[in-house]
């Protein structure tokens, strides 16, 4: 059977944080597949440039310039879709900020800002879209953006890890709550060259190649599943389409690799009649856990010598 050349034709998508970077790549791909786009960003100039880029590619887009988090922004995004295009079918919650620092230096504002944009922003936007979908019988598609940090943890990212882990937890819950209405909710775990990875020496050779318009070395694309924003965008469009008949999943993508992340499951189980007292745990738990303790953070293989770059001097 031939593939539909524009599987999202006639549909309308909101993409938060789509003025640049990954969000812009998502918006462009959704438009390429036929959807009209509500662009969202806090930067009016970036939002306007995104609309122009979508238009040059033959798409239709309008912008809502506002920070996600407040309910008013979520409502404005839904209203913009309905007023400009007459419908809403797809929501991609991508907007985010970073305030990286170690736990003992992280301020309340560092924590609250990241949680407010990533976690609350995802919640308010999904609530607004899901309410519209349910009240109007729309079998909508909701795609929430997670991160390997939310799955594994990362040094200096208490706030970001909490938000991204929380997003995946909400996705699993929403998939249950919205199933009867025919609304699919999934999380995407992207790995791509971004402003954040551009500062990490390990990825320097890949970032250099991307900036020069060259293909990234195979080590990054294949072994690490690390690529460009465009490498992620196809999955967003697929999950937004009727071809994707899945919900409640966390799917990783980057470079040449796609992965399905597991839900947390017990890796070892022990039983003791009468329960586990302190004394019983001290005596028996170490042996039960031996060889089964879980790693934290991501570990990367050694860089091939040809891809190593000198670290910048302090």
11, 26, 36, 160: the catalytic one is 160
Catalytic status, residue 160: yes
Secondary structure (DSSP) of the chain: -PPPS-TTTT-EEEETT-SSHHHHHHHHHHHHTT-EEEEEES-HHHHHHHHHHHHHTT--EEEEES-SSSHHHHHHHHHHHHHHHS---EEEE-------B-GGG--HHHHHHHIIIIIIHHHHHHHHHHHHHHHTT---EEEEE--HHHHH--TTBHHHHHHHHHHHHHHHHHHHHHTTTT-EEEEEEE-B--TTGGG-GGGHHHHHHHHTT-PPPHIIIIIS--B-HHHHHHHHHHHHSTT----S-EEEEETTEEEEEPPP--S-----TT---HHHHHHHHHHHHTTTPPP-S---PPPPGGG--PPPP-
Catalytic status, residue 147: yes
18, 26, 164, 241: the catalytic one is 164
18, 147, 241, 247: the catalytic one is 147
Q: Catalytic residue positions? A: 147, 160, 164
């Amino acid at each position: 059977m031939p593939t539909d050349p524009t599987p999202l034709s006639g549909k309308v998508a909101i993409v938060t944080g789509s003025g640049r970077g990954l969000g812009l790549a998502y918006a462009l791909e959704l438009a390429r597949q036929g959807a009209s786009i509500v662009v969202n960003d806090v930067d009016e100039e970036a939002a306007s440039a995104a609309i122009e880029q979508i238009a040059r590619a033959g798409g239709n887009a309008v912008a809502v310039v506002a920070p996600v988090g407040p309910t008013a922004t979520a409502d404005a995004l839904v209203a913009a879709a309905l007023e400009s295009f007459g419908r809403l079918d797809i929501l991609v919650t991508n907007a985010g900020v970073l305030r990286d620092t170690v736990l003992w230096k992280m301020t309340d504002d560092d924590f609250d800002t990241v949680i407010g944009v990533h976690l609350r922003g995802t919640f308010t936007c999904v609530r607004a879209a899901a309410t519209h979908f349910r009240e109007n019988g729309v079998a909508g598609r909701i795609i929430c953006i997670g991160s390997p940090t939310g799955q594994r943890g990362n040094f200096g990212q208490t706030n970001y890890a909490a938000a991204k882990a929380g997003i995946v937890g909400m996705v699993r819950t929403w998939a249950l709550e919205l199933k009867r209405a025919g609304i699919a909710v999934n999380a995407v775990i992207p790995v791509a060259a971004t402003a954040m990875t551009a500062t990490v020496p390990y990825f320097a050779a890949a970032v250099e190649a991307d900036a020069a318009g060259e293909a990234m070395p195979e080590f990054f694309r294949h072994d690490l599943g690390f690529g460009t924003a465009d490498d992620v965008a196809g999955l967003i469009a697929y999950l937004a389409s009727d071809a994707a008949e899945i919900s409640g999943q966390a799917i990783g993508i980057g470079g040449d690799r796609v992965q399905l992340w597991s839900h947390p499951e017990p890796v070892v189980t022990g039983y003791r009649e009468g329960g586990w007292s302190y004394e019983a745990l001290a005596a028996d738990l170490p042996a039960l856990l031996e060889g089964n303790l879980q790693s934290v953070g991501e570990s990367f293989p050694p860089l091939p010598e040809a891809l190593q770059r000198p670290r910048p001097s302090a």
